Amino acid sequence: MKITALEEYGLRCLLRVAERGPDDPISAREIAEREGLSLPYAQKIMRTLSDGGMVGAQRGAHGGYYLEASSEEISLGDVFRHLGGVLQLEDFCDNHTGQRETCAHADCCTIRPVWSHISKFLVRTLDNVPLSVLTDDEEQSVEEYLDELNQSRAG
């Protein structure tokens, strides 16, 4: 899986919004400065997130961006799907046909089940991790959350 710049920066910008409460919007300028992005790029990212209904915008002197839903209700899967990512198997075989119209292994593929398993695992994991987990301390919260998630799946 490749993480595009839009996905990485989009998630980081969304986390900046999530760190603030719903009554304390953050401006695109402040997001750009804190993330080391140009203001036009930060504005483009925030427009994309706004178009997807993840953030709302408040105009005025104390305006800025705020989450449309709580950070517990927004999953990483939601974020990545909206920003254009998350490994999906449907197009994988169509995109790797070599010089042929269809993949040479279209009828009997031993690789496809591996990609399918990885894709399903990744999507399931991202769908089960709320944005709120990423607003806590990196070492403790995220590791503990993922460990608990994996244990609950195994049990």
pLDDT band at residue 12, thresholds of 50, 70 and 90? Answer: very high
Break the chain into its structural domains and give their ranges. 5-154
Strand partners, 58: 64
pLDDT digits (tens, 9 = 90+) for 21-33: 778 999 999 999 9
What's the chain's Rg over C-alpha atoms?
A: 19
The yes or no reply on domain 5-154 and CATH 1.10.10.10 is yes
Which comes out higher in pLDDT, residue 85 or 39?
A: 39
Q: Strands (DSSP E) along the chain, which ranges?
A: 55-58, 64-67
